[in-house]
Amino acid sequence: MKTESEIPMLPDGCGYMGHEFGARYLDSQCFGGQLYDLDNCDDDGNLYEPGEYIACPQCHMEEWLEGLAEDVRSGIHDRAESSLPMWQAGCRFVLGLDREKAMSLLNGRFRTVTYVTDDDDLAERTWEFSEAALAKAEGKG
């Protein structure tokens, strides 16, 4: 068993907790702007260093969106269909975290995103962000 002096202290985080590691329950937490997998720990509950770097969407929204945009561009998702809904869900998510910051990013650097369609040839398409387009995707417009 490790003594307290042997256990490295995690940097302070913003308090964000989410579902970034695939569980239906809260399985991620921000420490120092990086998400840690709450299930990746020793028998005493000490968290291991993350095997992959995932930026905290609250601390580093732009970096988080870039990671999501890359997944959407490459068609990485858990279903064999269009990756656009994954991007639209990410847009709704960041708008809920910090609307002003999200609107600035979504109307700026992330105005358009390339995604993979569910066509047989997995064709690439682009989608332009707007609140109207997002509402239409939600069936509200």
Q: Where are the domains of the chain?
A: 1-56, 61-137
For residue 134, the one-letter residue type is L
Give the pLDDT confidence score for residue 80 in this predicted structure.
58
Give the pLDDT confidence score for residue 11 in this predicted structure.
73
3-class secondary-structure state, position 44? coil
Give pLDDT tens digits along the chain (141 positions). 444 444 455 678 898 999 998 899 999 999 999 999 999 988 888 888 888 889 999 999 999 999 999 989 887 655 557 889 999 999 999 999 999 999 999 999 999 999 888 665 667 789 999 999 999 888 765
3-class secondary-structure state, position 101? helix
Give the pLDDT confidence score for residue 120 in this predicted structure.
57
Q: Which residue has the tokens 């369609």?
A: 117
Q: Which of 27, 89, 44 is nearest to 64 (CA)?
A: 89
Give the pLDDT confidence score for residue 9 in this predicted structure.
59
Give the pLDDT confidence score for residue 101 in this predicted structure.
97
Helices (H), the chain: 61-74, 84-97, 99-106, 131-137
Q: Which residue has the tokens 């992959």?
A: 52
pTM given for the model:
0.82
| Beta strand 34-37 pairing with 124-128 | unpaired
